[in-house]
Amino acid sequence: MTATATTRPVLINGTWRDADVASTFQATDPNSNTKLEAEFPVSSWKDCDEALDAAADAARQLRKLPAAKIAEFLERYADRIDDAKDALVEAAFSETGLGKSPRLADVELPRTSNQLRAAAAACRTGNWCMPTIDTKAGIRSMYEQLGPVCVFGPNNFPFAFGSVSGGDFAAAIAAGNPVIGKANSSHPETTRLFAEQAIEALKETGLPLATVQLIYRTSHADGEKLVSDHRVGATGYTGSRGAGLTLKAAADKAGKPIYLELSSVNPVVITPGALAERFDDIVGEFATSVLMGTGQFCTNPGLVLLVKDANSEKFVSEVAEKFSSSAAGTLLSPAVAKSLSSSVTKLTEFGAKVVTGGGEPESGRCAYSNTLLTASAQDFLSNPEGFQTEAFGNASLIVTADSVKQLCEVIANLEGNLTGCIYSAASGDEDTYDSVAFELTPKVGRILNDKMPTGVAVSAAMNHGGPYPATGHPGFTAVGVPGSLLRFAKLTSFDNVRASRLPVVLQDKNPTGETWRLVDGTWTTSDLG
Amino acid sequence: MTATATTRPVLINGTWRDADVASTFQATDPNSNTKLEAEFPVSSWKDCDEALDAAADAARQLRKLPAAKIAEFLERYADRIDDAKDALVEAAFSETGLGKSPRLADVELPRTSNQLRAAAAACRTGNWCMPTIDTKAGIRSMYEQLGPVCVFGPNNFPFAFGSVSGGDFAAAIAAGNPVIGKANSSHPETTRLFAEQAIEALKETGLPLATVQLIYRTSHADGEKLVSDHRVGATGYTGSRGAGLTLKAAADKAGKPIYLELSSVNPVVITPGALAERFDDIVGEFATSVLMGTGQFCTNPGLVLLVKDANSEKFVSEVAEKFSSSAAGTLLSPAVAKSLSSSVTKLTEFGAKVVTGGGEPESGRCAYSNTLLTASAQDFLSNPEGFQTEAFGNASLIVTADSVKQLCEVIANLEGNLTGCIYSAASGDEDTYDSVAFELTPKVGRILNDKMPTGVAVSAAMNHGGPYPATGHPGFTAVGVPGSLLRFAKLTSFDNVRASRLPVVLQDKNPTGETWRLVDGTWTTSDLG
């Protein structure tokens, strides 16, 4: 099958060309729940195979380039993204329904370009490589390029987690790897516009043109083949648990690292003391956190744990009031609306009660009522797996326990999550905090105090990760430098390697004068000797 | 089925008790190829289940203890190992045939106790946790306990990689995790003697007694169940590829990290220039490296790559002379002898020629002739997988290429390996080196110059790891601190967590005055603010 004249081209080996088309698809404008005009190709294996060959070749070329060249590309690309803001925002609004401003134009876009710049800075200094020197043993080690990285971006951050613009992309490139981006099917045009900027930036900075490639969709079988291909170094995937676990099984079998960000209900514990002390503030913070972006954040607080008292009941009713009096935002796609509705139905079948919201998705646009559900801890404990069904979107479940002890029992039955929050009183709550934190911390990647989990700072100390099934590995973060880069790297020791043959970052002279290196147990920016 | 009076007890939850026995087994003395008297239990799932419960409980207790307590245990255990040297050496000699001195008593034993002390030091300072502080964002992160770790030790290092004494054990404990040791079936008594010292050291230092537990063997199905159990944090496995990949499949499916050290042929490239310059030295170094310890090292040089010239042919004949004139050492077990013989047969079936050695294993003891095989690069390239069959033991394959270009083609067809060595001339070989190193480095965890790969220093800059299938993940090392500890840890961010609730290592005051922490991009041992 060949592409029709209106089918968008793929970007393979530096050229925008017609895809080898298995079929085509169109994205939906969730604002009107109607199909958008542009047709996108579902690529056959031939496209993947050519992209893999080109990426393998680009990887070889990238290994010969100084890190500063890669940094230049990331910076130039960042500037181009800033310049192309209007078109990107327009496309993303049509494809995702996310607010143009502030969300897309003033929050997500600058975050995206700044993330690329942060990755560039790490690349430039080589700090992310963790250069380690043992002068006595004559051994030096560092993290370095792993090989071509496949990036499967999610639906909910068309810019900041985009397949050819987001965190995984920036990390993979900064670690010296070419990227094969698999666009999220709900915003292919947005992704294409990014790739247009990327290829121009590659040309401007003299990098191999196959450093960034883009396909839009493949068959499931080809997706599995892609992540397990011998030419691939690793894969970054953010999305649904089902598809993610299928890819994981394929990659695991081939011994290829795959970093997954799957699902998370992000438990929020609010102690009776905290509710008594800051009731209104907490109601407000929680409702804002759930409804912001129509609840479509990886770290959306989908599960609240309370201890039963007068305030806990009042909390439910006041949150319900906030939910019902707020307009329901637009959801990313018909699939998201359908999945949200289906998750709410499942939760009620397990025994959760709908306090407000529920029902069927709207028809004129992709939307669903702001939904609050409740259950007792006893209910939860009778079916922990069921009650942890993720309701991705503007919905949350409040579980009320009879005691702190029972609340801890609920926590002990939680799966791995990205985040866990504990709200407690300014004083007098330390015993409760200790009990709760002791159970909750091992279950989550990030533990927060008195703060909702939405909002993931790009910080060296950030862990946007967590134990399975929140992610595929408890030791890695998808956000923050250098952590996010280390996923796409191999560790290499240079044992008795002659001085002139060492990578620049491991030579006696500190390559930048400001690169941190662990020399004989001491972190230093000095030259050796 | 219950244990007989002579069946050795398992160590579960602090008590030496009769195993819940599915069957029993005996180890073999490879020096005489006869069964040793002691019977060891094959535990049923009941033993595993109880060990897991006890380990989960121990993990909770360990989280409440200061790191210094864990360090004390490691140090006390190290001292006890030194004191118990004679009995350990005696048992290991009977079970493995490895030389009593220097190998067991003077090399492996001090390495083992010093490895425990190095892990203790990292634990004491908290340096392994990579404490990271972002004062502006109010986020602090560190690596911390992951949960109970199962350790499956290999046959070839009864001390330094032993299930309850070796590198994985030391790393898991120092990272705050209890260990369930699964003894290697070829040296169960040696492992039991270590566990006897461990439990006494636990008692002396007041750690939870289930911090170290020991079973000897399980069914394959129970092994898979063990590594994928919800109570397990991770698994460390060193051994055969077949068994390792079976465990990996089970652990992967459950989302449980498993660190594997499988097989490796450790390619050694010797340039024509190097041979011309240091012919005798290189012959000597190579023969010593292959025959030392009867070649039973993970990093044994099993594949030599040469370029055809007069010296390459002479190299083959002189190495063959060394091999045939040296007495064949004792192998670890009948299984190792059988597997070595079978691998040599396979290689010859693929087209390799036996220059010296080959044939059947000896019968009076576990041994096999020192074996040298040769093949052309053309042969190799016709069946790269076959020619990479690992012949674990005192055997090696020399592959001769027609040119550096063809040699590089061979390298491009290699699987992941632990090490790769390049011998080159003092000068004039840089172009050849560059071509070879460019191909070889991405394939190996450690690249060496002018040095054989046997000998794995315990260094912060060591990578005893490598791309799949040498190991299960290209980013981790099994030897060296802090790298080896990071495998058994989860990353946790503390976001807006109140100062008094932070782990000691993340508080404003540097807990030891010498703990390295990354504060706002600068590595420092200072207090904050």
With contacts defined as CB-CB under 8 Å, which chain B residues touch A481? none
Instruction: Give the start-to-end residue ranges of the domains of chain B.
Output: 10-25+35-262+478-483, 267-449, 491-524
Q: Name the class of domain B10-25+35-262+478-483.
A: alpha beta
Å between B232 CA and nearest CA of chain A: 12
Which H or E element spans position A60?
A: helix A45-63
A499 to chain B, any CB pair closer than 8 A? The answer is no
B502 to chain A, any CB pair closer than 8 A? The answer is no
Phi, psi of B180 (to 5 degrees): -105, 110
Report the residue from B63, B137, B473 with minimal CB separation from A461.
B137
Å between B419 CA and nearest CA of chain A: 9
Fold of A267-449: Aldehyde Dehydrogenase; Chain A, domain 2 (3.40.309)
Catalytic residue IDs of A: 261, 298
Q: Is the pLDDT of residue B110 over 90?
A: yes
Å between A143 CA and nearest CA of chain B: 8
pLDDT at B1: 47
Closest to A485 (Cα-Cα) out of A262, A176, A66: A176
In the block, residue with structure tokens 């033993």: B47
Q: Is the pLDDT of residue B358 over 80?
A: yes
Nearest CA in chain B to A127: B521
pLDDT at A283: 98
Rounded to whole angstroms, the Cα distance separating B387 from B267 reads: 12
Q: Is the pLDDT of residue B406 over 80?
A: yes
Rounded to whole angstroms, the Cα distance separating A140 from A153 reads: 35
Q: How confident is the model at residue B455 (pLDDT cuts 50, 70, 90)?
A: confident
Cα atoms found within 13 Å of the Cα of residue B508, Cβ hemisphere only: 7
Length of chain A: 529
At B152-200, the pLDDT tens digits run 999 999 999 999 999 999 999 999 999 999 999 999 999 999 999 999 9
A10: left (phi over 0), alpha (psi -120 to 50) or beta: beta
With contacts defined as CB-CB under 8 Å, which chain B residues touch A524? 523
At B506-524, the pLDDT tens digits run 999 999 999 999 999 999 9
The residues with which B524 forms a beta bridge, in sequence order, are B517
Helix axes B220-227, B241-253, angle to 10 degrees: 50
At B456-499, the pLDDT tens digits run 999 999 999 999 999 999 999 999 999 999 999 999 999 999 99
Which residue stretches of B156-187 are H helix? 167-174
B496 to chain A, any CB pair closer than 8 A? The answer is yes
Helix axes A188-205, A85-96, angle to 10 degrees: 150
A204 to chain B, any CB pair closer than 8 A? The answer is no
With contacts defined as CB-CB under 8 Å, which chain A residues touch B492? 441, 444-447, 463
Token duo for residue B510: 């540097």
The residues with which B495 forms a beta bridge, in sequence order, are A448, B139
pLDDT tens for each residue of chain A, 529 residues long: 444 557 999 999 999 999 999 899 999 999 999 999 999 999 999 999 999 999 999 999 999 999 999 999 999 999 999 999 999 999 999 999 999 999 999 999 999 999 999 999 999 999 999 999 999 999 999 999 999 999 999 999 999 999 999 999 999 999 999 999 999 999 999 999 999 999 999 999 999 999 999 999 999 999 999 999 999 999 999 999 999 999 999 999 999 999 999 989 999 999 999 999 999 999 999 999 999 999 999 999 999 999 999 999 999 999 999 999 999 999 999 999 999 999 999 999 999 999 999 999 999 999 999 999 999 999 999 999 999 999 999 999 999 999 999 999 999 999 999 999 999 999 999 999 999 999 999 999 999 999 999 989 999 999 999 999 999 999 999 999 999 999 999 999 999 999 999 999 999 999 999 999 999 999 999 999 8
Query: Do the beta carbons of residue A370 and residue A291 sit within 8 Å?
Result: yes
With contacts defined as CB-CB under 8 Å, which chain A residues touch B56? none
Q: Is the pLDDT of residue B4 over 70?
A: no
Query: Do residue A477 and residue B491 have CB atoms under 8 angstroms apart?
Result: yes
Query: Do residue A521 and residue B141 have CB atoms under 8 angstroms apart?
Result: no
A247 to chain B, any CB pair closer than 8 A? The answer is no
The residues with which A491 forms a beta bridge, in sequence order, are A143
Residues 6+ apart with CB under 8 A from B500: none
Query: Do residue B448 and residue A495 have CB atoms under 8 angstroms apart?
Result: yes
Rounded to whole angstroms, the Cα distance separating B69 from B112 reads: 20
Rounded to whole angstroms, the Cα distance separating B74 from A245 reads: 39
In angstroms and rounded to an integer, the radius of gyration of the C-alpha atoms of chain B is 24
Q: How confident is the model at residue B6 (pLDDT cuts 50, 70, 90)?
A: confident
Question: Most B CBs within 10 Å: which of A493, A496, A502, A505, as the mutation test of the B interface?
Answer: A493
Å between A506 CA and nearest CA of chain B: 11
A518 to chain B, any CB pair closer than 8 A? The answer is yes
At B211-237, the pLDDT tens digits run 999 999 999 999 999 999 999 999 999
Query: E strands along B160-287, which residues?
Result: 179-182, 212-215, 234-238, 258-261, 267-270
Which residue stretches of B175-219 are H helix? 188-205
pLDDT at A1: 46
Q: Is the pLDDT of residue B2 over 60?
A: no
Rounded to whole angstroms, the Cα distance separating B408 from B401 reads: 9
Chain centroid, CA A83 distance in Å: 24
Rounded to whole angstroms, the Cα distance separating B3 from B41 reads: 7
B433 to chain A, any CB pair closer than 8 A? The answer is yes
Q: Could you give the angle at the alpha carbon of A22 between the alpha carbons of A21 and A24, nearest 5°? A: 75
Token duo for residue A92: 């993303």
Residue type, B347: L
pLDDT at B529: 81
B310 to chain A, any CB pair closer than 8 A? The answer is no
B437 to chain A, any CB pair closer than 8 A? The answer is yes
In the block, residue with structure tokens 């005051």: B509
Query: Do residue B460 and residue A134 have CB atoms under 8 angstroms apart?
Result: yes
Closest to B170 (Cα-Cα) out of B155, B188, B189, B157: B157
Closest to B371 (Cα-Cα) out of B334, B328, B335: B328
Rounded to whole angstroms, the Cα distance separating B426 from B421 reads: 15
- CATH 3.40.605.10 matches A12-262+478-484: yes
With contacts defined as CB-CB under 8 Å, which chain A residues touch B461? 132-134, 137, 139-141, 493
With contacts defined as CB-CB under 8 Å, which chain A residues touch B490? 442, 445, 467, 474-475
For residues B272-287, average pLDDT? 98
| Mean pLDDT over the full length of chain B | 97
3-class DSSP assignment, residue A18 = coil
With contacts defined as CB-CB under 8 Å, which chain B residues touch A436? none
Query: Do residue A442 and residue B257 have CB atoms under 8 angstroms apart?
Result: no
Report the residue from A444, A451, A460 with minimal CB separation from B496.
A451
Q: Which of residues 346-385 of A touch B (CB under 8 A)?
A: none
Residues 6+ apart with CB under 8 A from A377: A305, A399, A400, A401, A402, A406, A407, A409, A410
Chain centroid, CA A170 distance in Å: 12
At B45-94, the pLDDT tens digits run 999 999 999 999 999 999 999 999 999 999 999 999 999 999 999 999 99
B114 to chain A, any CB pair closer than 8 A? The answer is no
pLDDT at A5: 59
Annotate B386-438 with DSSP letters as a single string.
HHT----SSEEEEEEESSHHHHHHHHHT---EEEEEEE--SSS-HHHHHHHHH
Å between B526 CA and nearest CA of chain A: 12
Residues 6+ apart with CB under 8 A from A310: none
With contacts defined as CB-CB under 8 Å, which chain A residues touch B467? 490
